[in-house]
Chains A and B, each alone.
Chain A
């Protein structure tokens, strides 16, 4: 690199603080970016990376701290303002107008025109030149963006940012939905950008990729900066240690339970949204954890098991009965229950009452000839509220008004109410308070002791180690490794999840 080590930074963020209510998402973080460097921003889910770059782009306002772009103070009032100052975010796909052509998207908001009429020839020429510059002359300016692959869309977005003379590009998980080939294409473009003096902030979970593409790094953990430096001076193990840190020992209640015979078997199962086949077998009274990073394909797997996504290949065996195709309603009859990770969007009907939500998957005890025995249902709901220690005024209270933890209890209570034997829990403890969390751990243990089978998806590895019997780690849609909990540590899981390689002793 010809880059002078002592060249002044193009971007400085100083003492940035951002609180969301009581939680401190970004805690006094300093960040520096040099001209023409690729700077990786890494950390676990929820470490504060996204918040930090949102502050940078203008989507969020910092509570404290200052930013400088070159020598000038920089405080964008919104993303458009940030863009005009030369800071552009590259999102995965949401940021283009799908019906417009490549040329129209790239030139959007800065059309070349005389009077009101666009000068299409000139713009086409400009766009063609820009696409050639990023080595993709094969992308035609006249094709509607919706016909492009995700990788090509990203190129269009980058081209658009360059057209606006971006000096700093922020790429948030740019390769998470790209194929290997398309990722290679992206790295080529990043190389080209560097040579033109454009700086890139590169957010990624994939550490090996980071080592390949980045010059320097900053690691965030729990909103704090825990390390930064040149990428060539740091090893993969050191990065992982910085990301995971020394977690304070938490107490996880381990309730005695005995693992029994086969209950759920996945044979070469591949859903339409999954990237690879998965083999897995679960037993009665067993808690199996699915670890991985966001987007590793765990949600797609359990959606396929539950019949929300169609099966492309392979089959699901429940208690030794093979049932390859199944709708969610059939799965529920077969004794399966699913807790969605998207509690507010999909998991609960927020504008309906607690009792409605609780009984939604299992009306039969209260219905006669299609009519619902409202009183009986309400009494039952009362019992559940007490049993699950849900803080609610009455069964008729709207779920909307409950806290996150209590909402999650309602969602979980629905599975118990429906008397599911196999529980598919997707991030059941995300975004809820500590007290509710430990209650949920306890229930999961109790359920296992009653012989239920539990599949527990989480991105918080200590809790998986704390309560699961076995843990399977996913990386880019592949099941990397499955082992008993005693053979895992948070660092080993992170290593497997970020590199896709099973760690040997």
Chain B
């Protein structure tokens, strides 16, 4: 045997500062948005106020909850176009249940489970029919929306006011909460999901399935089961998002949140999620959600019309993703 061992010429490990920079990178866009509006003389006094930040946070809850689940799905290499329909269906279920005299707590559980069921069906169809997620969830986009309208009798369901409507209240009771319970829920769940993705076996398997499904299977991971769990969990988040939607509107509206799935996907993608799988983070997705919320908020304050906001957000998606790719290629 030769004594001398040759070593691979090896990539340097990142230094502390490089670590910090790559950790901060997703925040840069958000900071940029905040700085720009803070410098606008027309709005700076109103924009940089705690009350405004609170209202932006409240407005973000619905998209953010959806994005938590969507992050899982996108990391695993999939997509869910039915998220917004699922939100609408779940919110209708909550309103319907409350109207039927069921206690609000149980109604909320029904709403969340409805979302989970839709996700479960998505995952099961994707794995058993071996169809691409795009097609299955495109179908579900129509089905869930249709079912929502059917249950609601093609109109809004008025439900009596209950404590459910306080979940998204701007001025929470009791006041020591400072922010609406929904916002707290969003924060806690985001932390939970970040921990799940990073420190659990399931989290690793989500990345593995998205990065190289064949390898994952070869290494003994039950990829189909993993996917079904991913879509079901994501469905549960849509269900909860639907509860928040109902809480905010105080009615069950089957036509609510049309097109919101694209906002949710955009948030994940702006936050560094890759549509080809294997990449993405909860922190990134949350930053993505807030970039869009603050843009909307700031533009509205500036009195810019809706279409300007749409153009800006569209441009941001393209710029954010291409910057992200550039960064990857340089590495």
Give the distance in Å from the alpha carbon of A118 to the alpha carbon of B195 in the complex.
11
* CA gap between A79 and B210 in the complex, in Å: 20
A135 proximity list for chain B (CB < 8 A): 5
Set B1, B217, B278: member contacting A80, Cβ < 8 A: B217
Q: Report the bound CA distance from A143 to B13 in whole Å.
A: 8
What are 13 A-B residue pairs whose CB atoms fall within 8 Å in the complex?
A80-B217, A83-B219, A95-B218, A97-B211, A99-B210, A118-B200, A136-B7, A138-B8, A147-B11, A148-B8, A151-B8, A155-B8, A184-B6
Q: Are B216 and A185 in contact (CB under 8 A)?
A: no
Are A185 and B279 in contact (CB-based, < 8 A)? no
- Chain A positions 169-217 with a Cβ under 8 Å from a chain B Cβ: 181-182, 184-185, 188, 191
Q: Which residues of B contact A (CB under 8 A)?
A: 1-2, 5-11, 13, 199-202, 204, 207-208, 210-212, 214-221, 278-279, 331
Tell me what chain B mostly uses at the interface: helix, strand, loop, or mixed. loop
**What residues on B are CB-neighbors of A152 within 8 Å?**
8, 10
Report how far A184 CA is from B7 CA in the complex, Å: 10
Q: Are A97 and B208 in contact (CB under 8 A)?
A: yes
Selected from A97, A143, A182, A188, the residue in CB contact (under 8 A) with B5 is A188
Q: What separation, in Å, do the CA atoms of A94 and B213 have in the docked complex?
A: 11
Smallest CB gap from A57: residue in B: B218
Q: Is A125 an interface residue (CB 8 A)?
A: no
CA distance A307 to B219 in the complex (A): 40
> How far apart are the CA atoms of A99 and B218 in the complex, in Å?
17
Bound: A149/B8 CA distance, A: 8
Cβ-defined contact, B199 with A117, below 8 A: yes
Docked pose: A142 CA to B19 CA in angstroms = 13
A259: interface (CB < 8 Å): no
Contacting pair A109 B207 (CB below 8 A): no
Interface size range of chain A in the complex: 35 or more
Contact B220 A84 (CB under 8 A): yes
Q: How far is the CB of A349 from chain B (nearest CB, A)?
A: 21
Complex Cα distance, B7 from A116, in Å, reads 36
Binding site for B on A (CB under 8 A): 79-80, 83-84, 94-100, 104, 108-111, 113, 116-118, 120, 135-136, 138-140, 142-143, 147-149, 151-152, 155, 160, 181-182, 184-185, 188, 191
In the complex, what distance in Å separates the CA atom of A238 from the CA atom of B275? Answer: 53
B15 to chain A, nearest CB (A): 14
Q: Which of B6, B8, B199, B279 contacts A99 (CB 8 A)?
A: B279
CB proximity of B193 to chain A, nearest CB, Å = 13
A449–chain B nearest beta-carbon distance, Å:
49
Nearest opposing residue in chain A for B6, CB measure: A185
Bound CA span A113–B200, Å: 8
Residues in A neighbouring B8, C-beta threshold 8 A: 136, 138-139, 148-149, 151-152, 155, 182, 185
Residue among B2, B210, B331 making CB contact with A147, cutoff 8 Å: B331
Closest 5 CB pairs of A and B: A109-B219, A99-B278, A97-B211, A109-B220, A99-B211
- Would you call B217 and A99 a contact (CB within 8 A)? no
Query: Chain A residues with Cβ under 8 A from B7's Cβ?
Result: 136, 138
Chain A contacts for B214, CB-based, 8 A: 94-95
Give Cα distance in the complex from A148 to B9, angstroms.
10
Taken together as a complex, chains A and B put the C-alpha atoms of A184 and B5 apart, in Å, by 9
Cα distance, A184 to B4, chains bound together (Å): 11
Measured CB to CB, the closest approach of chain B to A101, in angstroms, equals 10
A116 to B233, CA, bound (A): 16
Nearest residue (CB) in B for A151 is: B8
B212 touches A98 (CB 8 A): yes
Cα A111 to Cα B204 in complex, Å, equals: 9
| CB closest residue in chain A, given B13 | A140
- Cβ distance B288 to chain A, nearest Cβ, rounded Å: 19
Please, which residue of chain B has its CB at the minimum distance from the CB of A140? B13
Instruction: Verify B212–A96 contact, CB threshold 8 A.
Output: yes
Contacts of A181 in B (CB 8 A): 6
> Beyond A99-B207, A100-B207, is A109–B5 a contact (Cβ under 8 Å)?
no
Cβ–Cβ contact B207 & A104, under 8 A: yes
Cβ A120 vs Cβ B220 within 8 A: no
In the complex, what residues of B have CB within 8 A of residue A84's CB?
220
Give chain A residues whose Cβ lies under 8 Å from the Cβ of B2: 188
On whether A108 and B208 interact (CB within 8 A), knowing A79-B218, A98-B278, A116-B200, the answer reads: yes
Min Cβ gap B92→A in Å is: 33
B210 and A108 contact, CB distance less than 8 A: no
Bound Cα distance A142, B219 (Å):
19
Please determine whether B218 and A83 come into contact, CB atoms closer than 8 angstroms.
yes
Give Cα distance in the complex from A121 to B278, angstroms: 23
Out of A80, A94, A117, A136, name the residue touching B220 (CB < 8 Å): A80
Q: Please, which residue of chain A has its CB at the minimum distance from the CB of B279?
A: A99
Q: Answer whether A139 and B10 are a contact pair too, CB < 8 Å, given A108-B221, A188-B2, A188-B5.
A: yes
